[in-house]
Structure 1
C-alpha cells in the first residue's frame, strides 16, 4: 500500500515545490519511491500553470534537488481524499485547507515544521518577496522537517510491508 504525501503553500511556486523536490530526493535515496507518492499544490490559484519561481529552482539545484517536475496547481477536493498526509507551510495555508477539507479527513492536515528536529520555528517562511538568502533558509527548514516526515512514512511503509 502506498503512502501519499502532499506539500501545500499559497501559490505552489516556492515552498511546496521545494518540499516536493527535497522529499522526492530523500525517498529515492532511501529506496522508497515505489511505496511513497509525493505531490505539491497551492491553496490559491495565483500561479496555476506556472513553473516554480526561478529563485526556487536555482536554490534547489545548488543543493542537488530538482523542483521543475510540473506546473503549479491548486489543491482540489480530491486531494483531501487521496493523500494520507497533507503538510502546510504556514498557519494561513493550514487554516485555508481546514475550511475546505471534509471533517473526517482533517486529521491528515498538519504543519510541515511539526516534523522538524533541528529548527524550532512553527512555519516555513514565504521567501517570495524577500532576497535570495530566504530561499536557502526555506531549504534549511524543509530539509530538517522532511527528514522527520521520512522517518514517519518509512515506519508506515515497513508496517504495511510486514502485514
Structure 2
C-alpha cells in the first residue's frame, strides 16, 4: 500500500517546517500511524540548503520532546508536487509561492493551520527574527494543527484499511 505523503513548507526550512515535520512525526508515532505516512519538509527558498534547523527551534522543540537534529534544509522542487498527497504551507506567502510553482496542484496545497482546532490563527508566524516566545507560539500552533491533521489521517487511513 502506498503511504500517504505529506510535505511541510516554509521559507527557509530551518524553523517552522522542520518543527512541523518533527511534531507530526511524533504524533503519528503515538497514534500508531507512522508506518502509513511519508513525511518531509522543505523551503520555498534556498537560503539554508543542507543546514540543520535553527538552534533555537531545536532547543524549544527538544524541551517538548521533539528531536529535530537529524533534519536538513532543502528546497521544494517540481517532483515534490507528484510525490506528495498534501503540501502544507506555514503562511499565505509560501502557499502562494507553491501555487505559482505548480498552479495545477489545487487542493493538494493548504495552510497547516487549516487543521487547527484550538488556535484561530490561519498562519504559523515566522519566529526567525524574534525571541524565544515566538518559537513557543510556533510550537503551540503546530501542535494544535498536527492534532487535527492526525485526526484527519486516522479517519482517512483507517477508513481505507477497513
Is TM more than 0.5 here?
A: yes
Residue aligned with 1:40, SS: strand
1:101-147 deviation line (CA, Å, top 9, x unaligned): 141x2210000000100000110000000001100000000000000
Counterparts of 1:1-163 in structure 2 under 5 Å? 1-103=2-104, 105-162=105-162
- Structure 2 gaps, min length 5: none
Q: CA deviation at 1:69?
A: 2.3
Q: Is the 8 A contact 1:2 1:157 kept in 2?
A: no
1:53-109 deviation line (CA, Å, top 9, x unaligned): 000000000000111222100001111111111100001000000000141x22100
Residue aligned with 1:34, SS: helix
Q: Is the 8 A contact 2:18 2:71 kept in 1?
A: no
Residue aligned with 1:138, SS: helix
Give the structure-1-normalised TM-score.
0.96
How far apart are the structure 2 equivalents of 1:141 and 1:80?
25
- Structure 1 gaps, min length 5: none
Runs of 4+ in 1 over 6 A off after TM superposition: none
Q: CA deviation at 1:161?
A: 1.1
Q: Which moved more, 1:69-78 or 1:9-18?
A: 69-78
Q: CA deviation at 1:153?
A: 1.1
Give the structure-2-normalised TM-score.
0.97
What is the aligned residue count? Answer: 161
